[in-house]
Amino acid sequence: MVKQNNNIGIVETRYYTFAYPPSELELESGEKFGPITLAYETYGKLNSEKSNAILILHALTGDAHAAGLHPDDKDPGWWDNMIGPGKAFDTHQYFVICSNVLGGCKGSTGPSSINPLSGKPYGLQFPVITIKDMVNAQRHLIDDLGIDKLLAVAGGSMGGMQALQWVASYPDKVRSVIPVATTANHSSQQIAFNEVGRQAIMADPNWNEGDYYGRELPAKGLSVARMVGHITYMSDVSMGEKFGRKFKNTKQLLKFSPEFEVEGYLQYRGDNFIKRFDPNSYLYITKAIDYFDLANGKGLREVFRGIESPFLVIAFKSDWLYPAYQSQEIAKACKLAGIEAIYCELNSNYGHDAFLIEVEEQSHLIKYFLRKVTKGYRVADASNS
C-alpha cells in the first residue's frame, strides 16, 4: 500500500563491497576485517562538480532506507519527512546518501552475515567495532562514489555520533556537520541502559552465545531490550499524553498479561522487533555506541582544533536519553575551537524521538544552514564560495 504523500517515489537499495585491494579494513581494535559490504541508498542527483553530496547517518536500529518507498513498503524510509523534494534535505538540490552501518543487519556486513571462511554466519566471531570503524567503512563508499568532499554529514542519536566522528577523522572531507540529539561521549547512564538491553538478550537461552542462526531466535530477550529502549526514546510527558493510565479494551487473559495501554504498546513494539532486527547486531552496535568518546581523555576543543566546517547542533528539551547539556558541550567545544556553530534547542514533548518527529523547525534550521554552507559559509572556505 503506497502512501500518496511520499515525494521521492520508489527507491532502491544498492550494495557496495570493498574491492580487492583493499579487501580489509583495519579496525580500531587493530584487527583487520573484510570483505565488507555496505547497503546504501541515494536520492537526488550528484552534480558535475560532485559538491552537493550529503551523507545521512542512521541511529541504532535504522538502515540505509532513509527516504522514499521500496515497492513492497507500507511506510516510507525512516527520515522521509526530512529528505525529498523541497524538504530539509532537498533532493532537488542535494545528492543524499545513506548507508547501513558496519555491524548492522539490513544489508551491510554484520554478525548475521556469512563469514566467507566458515560459510556460516559470523555470530560472535564478528569483530568488536566502533563508531570510528563504521565511519571508516563509509569512507570507502564515499570514495567509490567519487566524492572528494561531502557538503554535510548529518544524523540523529548514533547518527550524530558518526557525524562527529566523520569531521574529527576527515576534517578535509566534510564541509559541514549536523549532529542532532546526540553526544560526544556516552555517559554512565546511557551505557547502563544499553547494558540492560544486552543483558536481556544474553539472558535468553535461545541467544546461545550468539549462535542462533537457523534455530529459534532470542526473541523474548530482544523484546525486553526493545521495550526499555522505547521508554528512553519517549518522554514522561509524551507517554502520559499517548497512554496516560488508560486500560486496554481487551480483557486481561492471564495474570500479568498487558492491561494498561502502555504495556500493550511496549509488548507490541518489543515482539515486532525480532522480525526486523538481529539480536547480535543489537549487541555489537550498542557496544560501539558505549565505546564512543570522541575526546577520549583530551578536551573536546582539542579534538575540534583545526576543523573549519561549521556545525548546526540541534537538541530537544524533553530528550532525557541524550539531554540537551550534551549538545551544549558540543557547541561549546566548537566555539572554543573557533568553529562556527549554531546551537538550537527545540521545544518538544517527544523526548529523544523528537528528531524523527519534529519536522518543521528542524527543516527550517537545516535548509537555512545548508543554503549558507552551499554559498560558502566561511571566508576560510574560499574554494567553495
Active site residues: 157, 319, 352
Span from 8-16, 41-49, 173-181, 236-244 in contact with a second copy (CB under 8 A): 236-244
Backbone phi, psi, residue 176, to 5°: -160, 160
- Residue in 7, 17, 169, 267 binding a second copy, rule: CB under 8 A: 267
266 is an interface residue for a second copy by CB under 8 A: yes
Backbone phi, psi, residue 71, to 5°: -55, -35
- Residue in 40, 89, 122, 243 binding a second copy, rule: CB under 8 A: 243
| Ramachandran bin of 140, using left for φ above 0, alpha for ψ from -120 to 50, beta for the remaining angles | alpha
299 is an interface residue for a second copy by CB under 8 A: no
Residues 174-193 that bind a second copy (CB under 8 A): 185-189, 191-193
29 is an interface residue for a second copy by CB under 8 A: no
Cβ-contact 259, 347 below 8 angstroms = no
337 is an interface residue for a second copy by CB under 8 A: no
Integer Cα distance of 99 and 63 in angstroms:
7
Nearer to a second copy, 13 or 185 (CB): 185
290 is an interface residue for a second copy by CB under 8 A: yes
Cβ 341 to a second copy shortest distance, Å: 24
- Residue in 73, 115, 149, 320 binding a second copy, rule: CB under 8 A: 320
Three cell numbers at 236? 514522561
239 is an interface residue for a second copy by CB under 8 A: yes
Cβ 77 to a second copy shortest distance, Å: 28
- Residue in 170, 213, 260, 343 binding a second copy, rule: CB under 8 A: 260
227 is an interface residue for a second copy by CB under 8 A: yes
Three cell numbers at 27? 579496525
Nearer to a second copy, 123 or 376 (CB): 123
N- to C-terminal Cα separation, the chain: 44
Three cell numbers at 294? 570522541
Cβ-contact 124, 111 below 8 angstroms = yes
Helix segments in the chain, DSSP class H: 131-144, 158-169, 188-203, 219-233, 236-242, 261-273, 279-291, 300-304, 324-336, 354-357, 359-376
Helix 279-291 with 131-144: angle, nearest 10 deg: 100
| CB within 8 Å of 246: residues ≥ 6 apart | 260, 261
Integer Cα distance of 13 and 97 in angstroms:
11
Comparing C-alpha atoms, which of 74, 82, 70 is closest to residue 10? 70
Site string for a second copy, 205-224 (x = CB under 8 A): x----x---------xx-xx
Q: Would you tell me how many other CB atoms lie within 10 Å of the CB of residue 247?
A: 15
In SS3 terms, 172-212 reads as: HHECCEEEECCCCECCHHHHHHHHHHHHHHHHCHHHHHHCC
244 is an interface residue for a second copy by CB under 8 A: yes
Helix (H, G, I), strand (E, B) or coil at 380: helix
Span from 4-12, 149-157, 174-182, 200-208 in contact with a second copy (CB under 8 A): 200-208
Cβ 31 to a second copy shortest distance, Å: 13
Span from 14-22, 25-33, 198-206, 341-349 in contact with a second copy (CB under 8 A): 198-206
Nearer to a second copy, 44 or 221 (CB): 221
Nearer to a second copy, 245 or 375 (CB): 245
Number of residues that bind a second copy (CB under 8 A): 52
Residues 122-181 that bind a second copy (CB under 8 A): 124, 128
Q: Where do contacts with a second copy occur on this chain (CB under 8 A)?
A: 124, 128, 185-189, 191-193, 195-196, 198-200, 202-205, 210, 220-221, 223-224, 227-228, 230-231, 234-236, 239-240, 242-245, 255-256, 258, 260, 262-263, 266-267, 270, 283, 287, 290, 293, 320, 323
